[in-house]
Amino acid sequence: MTENYELPVLFTEEERKAYASWGIKKEKALMPFVIATILIYAVTAAFVVMKVWGVRDSDHVLFQMLVLGDWIPELTGTLAVLMTILLLGPLNYILDKLWKKPAEPMTLIVEPEGTNVKIHKDQTGREENLKNRKMATETESYPLTQLFAFLNPEDNTICYQKKWYIIGENTIENIYPAKYRHPWMDHPENKASVITDVQRLTDILKGYEASLEAARKEQEWLNNQK
């Protein structure tokens, strides 16, 4: 079986505070530029509409063609994208480098292999120190018959390197204080494929163990028929 399961780890309180502080600081720096971008877009869109409206008296046919066409919303939409890319994109990148964007949350990979389960840390390429780089390459192995040695569905935790980690997605709602929970705030990418429920993972691994046992019994029965 080559399947593996990604489990995102919740920030510790210290990590959450550091990420929230960085995100709030960045939002305050970017907000004036966001407002400027919106104003530039609004003025440009108004200018385009006024120019088109000015054609009404001089060329009625052309005016009808312009109004009925889709080019105005397409043009203003393209303009908005270009302004975001050319102004906010580079500035966002510069601030990430200047203020040292906090490390992404840990993701643990659980991989059934034979009668064992392997656990290792996903290598994100952003390991900030030697200890974490070493940790990213270390793999632990547990027998399938001892799932609860490393899984605890009751508090949604998983054990790795002798430490229990709480599994869950780091979202705007659980990173920032209530007054800063805006849709545009920075937050770690949350993949649709991850598992955030340890009970669900436990059920999957139990099913895998049962299928191995069924296959073993079938092979044993076939051997006895010879």
Question: Measured on CA atoms in the order 144, 148, 150, 153, is the torsion positive or negative?
Answer: positive
The last residue of a domain, from among 78, 98, 118 = 98
Question: What average pLDDT does range 29-54 have in this prediction?
Answer: 74
80 and 47 within one domain: yes
* Tokens, residue 223: 């051997």
124 with 220, same domain: the answer is: yes
74 and 171 housed in the same domain: no
Higher-pLDDT residue of 70 and 177 is 177
How much is the pLDDT for 97? Answer: 85
**Residue 70 pLDDT greater than 80, yes or no:** no
For residues 124 and 178, membership in a common domain is answered with yes
Domain count, the chain: 2
Task: Show the beta-strand stretches assigned E in the chain.
Answer: 5-8, 107-113, 116-121, 139-143, 151-152, 157-160, 163-166
Residue 200: domain span: 5-13+103-224
Return the higher-pLDDT residue of 64 and 91: 91
Boundary (domain end) residue, out of 80, 98, 116: 98
135 against 91, higher pLDDT:
91
Mean pLDDT of all residues in the chain? Answer: 82
pLDDT for residue 125 is more than 50: no
> Residue 182: pLDDT above 70?
yes
Same domain, 69 and 126: no
CA within 13 Å, CB half, 99:
20
Under the banding of pLDDT at 50, 70 and 90, the label for residue 64 is low
Q: Is the predicted pLDDT of residue 4 greater than 60, yes or no? A: yes
Q: Provide the pLDDT for residue 51.
A: 65
Q: In terms of pTM, does the model score above 0.75?
A: no
Asked whether residue 125 falls in the same domain as residue 205, the answer is yes
Cα dihedral sign, 200-202-205-210? negative
Domain end among 74, 98, 122? 98
Shared domain for 215 and 133, answered yes or no, is: yes
Mean local confidence (pLDDT), 51-75 = 60
